[in-house]
Amino acid sequence: MNIFLVYGGKSAEHDVSILSAYSILKEIYYNYYTVTPVYITREGKWLKGNEITDPSQVNSSQELILEDIGEGLHFSDIPKENTIVFPVLHGPNGEDGTVQGLLEMLEIPYVGAGVLASATGMDKIISKILFKEAGLPIVPYFQVKVIDWHVNQEMVISEAESTLSYPMFVKPSNMGSSVGISEAKDRNELVEAIAKAFEYDRRVLIEQGVQAREIEVAVLGNEDINTSVPGELVKKQQFYDYESKYISNEVVPQIPAKLSEEITKTLREYAARAFMAIDGNGLTRVDFFLTADEEIYINEVNTFPGFTNYSMYPRLWEKTGLAYGDLIEEMIQLGLRRFKARQ
């Protein structure tokens, strides 16, 4: 079978995607698969590399940048038989339903969430609406459109101050890896935070900040939903930003998280419910806040979470009893089964 492994992408999470792709390429079961790496440049050009039939052909994540050696990919080059596309893309233009829609049009099976789950999962405003509808607890928030911000900044600020209290968190609706997100502790910071978030999206959320532990649960399946043990990101700082996530490695995962049985059960049940609420397929990581007085809030879902050997999603499965290579194999099988079921 052929795997077309697509990574990179026109997204702020381009580099993380390369690291995820590298780890996956090292662990795919090559006795069943031949892999064609497909690198999407930051400008959005699709480049195809040479076939990989053995993990030793990949020696560093740097080699996955095919800018000088890859050939342009024509979608008609992707064989229709015995092929699955593996989109290892994080963030807008990949994790958000765009690439998934393209693959639906081409009638090629692919790994992971479909168009609807990808699009709703990436959009923090829409996913909050769906979570609320599904009876899942969310933090108070409201949304701001860029036009409202341009027309009447004071009204936006006064709405924030009358419905929420500082600190607040301001986020672009479509983004990941903490890009464009800021914590605002006072009015000046709020104005700055909103302006910054609008650099990334036309729609922004202002959320109530909470002092909480961050707990994550991995979901795997299609109609049959499996959840992992919960894991905790033990933080040295409150705000888990891009720097602490990828550069300074300041976050230590604790798996399983130290939680009562009851909280664990609730989190796993909420994770499955969130997966259903977005019409999930394949995989999703569901992220929660847990306050000191044991209040649970669902924060967000990530339909293609970080996937390096050190990332939370594969580590959660490892500690639940599913090794990295077996996890990748299961994701491929789920993608194939989903494709068959829709025909």
CA distances from 16 to 20, 45, 61 (A): 6, 18, 10
SS3 at position 33: coil
**Terminal Cα-to-Cα distance of the chain (whole angstroms):** 20
* Cβ pair 216, 189 in contact under 8 A: no
Sheet with strand 168-172: strands edge to edge: 141-145, 203-208, 168-172, 182-184
Structure letter (DSSP) for residue 43: T
Shortest gap between Cβ of 206 and Mg ion (angstroms)? 17
Element containing residue 319 per DSSP (H, E) = helix 312-320
Per partner kind, with CB cut-offs from 5 to 8 A, the member of Mg ion, ligand ADP, none near residue 122 is none
Q: How far apart are CA 174 and CA 73, in angstroms?
A: 27
Residue 307 pairs in a beta bridge with none
Q: How far apart are CA 277 and CA 42, in angstroms?
A: 32
* Cβ pair 12, 177 in contact under 8 A: yes
SS (H, E, C) 19-44: HHHHHHHHHCCCCCCEEEEEEECCCC
Site for ligand ADP contains 177 (CB under 6 A): yes
Shortest gap between Cβ of 126 and ligand ADP (angstroms)? 14
Look at strands 83-88 and 71-72 and give their pairing. unpaired
Q: Looking at 120, 182, 208, 302, which residue binds Mg ion (CB under 5 A)? A: 302
| Sole window of 3-11, 173-181, 201-209, 273-281 interacting with Mg ion (rule: CB under 5 A) | 173-181
Q: Looking at 149, 169, 270, 313, which residue binds ligand ADP (CB under 6 A)? A: 169
Site for Mg ion contains 176 (CB under 5 A): yes
Give the footprint of Mg ion on residues 98-117 (CB under 5 A).
none
Site for Mg ion contains 174 (CB under 5 A): no
Per partner kind, with CB cut-offs from 5 to 8 A, the member of ligand ADP, Mg ion, none near residue 214 is ligand ADP
Shortest gap between Cβ of 145 and ligand ADP (angstroms)? 19
Q: Mask 190-209, x = binds ligand ADP (CB under 6 A)?
A: -----------------xxx
Cβ nearer to Mg ion, comparing 241 with 300: 300
| Sole window of 61-69, 94-102, 170-178, 186-194 interacting with Mg ion (rule: CB under 5 A) | 170-178
Structure letter (DSSP) for residue 55: G
Site for ligand ADP contains 240 (CB under 6 A): yes
Q: How far apart are CA 273 and CA 178, in angstroms?
A: 24
Give the footprint of ligand ADP on residues 283-342 (CB under 6 A).
287, 299-300
Q: Is the dihedral of CA 323, 326, 331, 334 positive or negative?
A: negative
Cβ nearer to Mg ion, comparing 100 with 302: 302
Shortest gap between Cβ of 67 and Mg ion (angstroms)? 27
Structure tokens at 133: 């509808």
Give the footprint of ligand ADP on residues 96-155 (CB under 6 A).
139
Per partner kind, with CB cut-offs from 5 to 8 A, the member of ligand ADP, Mg ion, none near residue 204 is none
Cβ nearer to ligand ADP, comparing 11 with 208: 208
Cβ nearer to ligand ADP, comparing 36 with 177: 177
* Cβ pair 49, 39 in contact under 8 A: yes
Contact positions vs Mg ion (CB under 5 A): 176, 300, 302
Contact positions vs ligand ADP (CB under 6 A): 139, 169, 171, 175-178, 181, 207-210, 214, 239-240, 287, 299-300
